[in-house]
Structure 1
C-alpha cells in the first residue's frame, strides 16, 4: 500500500512539474507573439503634409509618406497646376520660407551622385523622383515607392525627415546638372516629423 501511495504522490509531483513547465512555455510564447505584434505595428509610419504655393502659383495639395516593411510609399495629390508634365523632387532642407521655394536648397543627394532619372545605371540623387502629368483641370496624383528612403531612421543616406518636397513648373530633362532644368518651384512642403 505504501508503494502505491508513493507512486501516486510521484505521479502528482511529475504532473505538477509538467504543468508548471507547460505554463512557462505558454507564457514565453505569448510574450514572443506580443513582442512580434508590437514590432509589426511600430514598423508602419505615416506622415502627411500640406503643400504651399510658391512663385505666385495656385498649386495646393498634400503629400503622404507611409513606411511599411522597409519601403516608403509617397502619394501626392495636387491641384492648381498648368496642364501637362511637371517635375517633383525631394530637396535638402525642410524650409519653405522663401516666396520662390529656393530656401529648400538643391536636390537631396546624400550619396553625391549626378542628377539623373531615378534608377539610372550611373547613379542619381535620392531626391530625383521624376515627372508626372497634370490633367486639363490642373489636377494630378503622384505615386512613388522605394526601399531607398526611410522615415526617421538613423541612416542619413535614407532618412527623408528634415527634407522638402518641391513641385516644379516645368519638366525634368534628367540630364542637366545639378537639377534637371525643371524651372520654377511652384509648390513646397517641409518633411518635419
Structure 2
C-alpha cells in the first residue's frame, strides 16, 4: 500500500511541477505582449474638452478608439498631424498631416497617401461619435520616422467635412474643428 501512495504522490508532484512550469512560460509570454497605450484629450475650437482617444500599439498597426461629443453631425475627416500642439481656435499649430515619406494625400490618390491619413468618421445626430479606427502606416514605437511619439509630438485632428480621399493636401476636409495632442 505504501508504495502505491508514493507513486500517486510522485505522479501528482510531477504534474504540479510541469503545470507550474507552464504557468511561468505563459507569464513570460504575457509580459512580452504588453501593448503601448496613449490617452489623448480632444478639445474643440473654444478649448473645451469634448472627448478622448486611446491609441494602442498592436502588431503592425495602431488602433484608435475615439469617443467625443458636441460635434456637428455627419461625416468628418480625421488625420494625424505633424505637431503635438492644439492651439484653438484654428489648430494651425498642429501643422500639416503627418507625412514623413513625402507622399500626396488620399487613399485614392495614385501618388498618395500620407502616413497620417485615416478613414472618415461619422458623428451621430446627437453630436456624438464612438468608433474604432486602425492605421498600419503609423507606430507608437519611438525613433521610427512614422512614429506618433517623435520629438514635439503629433496630434489627432477632426475636420469639419468628409475627406474625399484624393485632394492634396487635406482631402478637401475643411476647417479643423477638434484636436488632441499626442505627446
Q: What TM-score does the superposition give when structure 2 sets the normalisation length?
A: 0.76
Corresponding residue number in structure 1 for 2:148: 160
Please give the alpha-carbon distance, in whole angstroms, between the structure 1 residues aligned to 2:70 and 2:148: 26
Pair 1:107 & 2:97 matched: yes
Task: Note if 1:143 corresponds to 2:136.
Answer: no
For residue 12 of structure 1, what is the aligned residue in structure 2? none
- 1:3 aligns with none
Distance 2:53 2:180 in 1: 8
Match of 1:71 among 37, 61, 64: 61
Paired residue secondary structure (2:77): strand
> Conserved in 1, the CA contact under 8 Å of 2:41 and 2:49?
no
Give the structure with the higher percent helix: 1
* Larger Rg belongs to: 1
**Counterpart-to-counterpart distance in 1, 2:89 and 2:166:** 27
Deviations 1:26-65, CA, capped at 9 Å, x for gaps: 9xx89x9465443223xx11111110111x5977111110
Q: Specify every segment of 5 or more residues in structure 1 that has no aligned partner in the other structure, as ranges.
A: 1-25
* Alignment partner of 1:185 is 2:176: yes
Is contact 2:118-2:135 (8 Å) kept? no
CA apart distance, 1:69: 2.7
Q: Structure 1's 82 and 39: CA in aligned 2 closer, same or farther, altered over 3 A?
A: same
Which residue in 1 is equivalent to 2:72?
Answer: 82
The answer to whether the aligner puts 1:175 opposite 2:163 as a matched pair is: no
> Among 87, 99, 102, which residue is 1:97 paired with?
87
Instruction: Provide the rounded CA distance (Å) in 2 between the counterparts of 1:70 and 1:61.
Output: 26
Number of matched pairs? 159
Residue segments in structure 2 that go unaligned for 5+ positions in a row: 1-17
Q: Indicate conservation of the 8 Å contact 2:119/2:133, yes or no.
A: no
TM-score when normalising by structure 1: 0.73
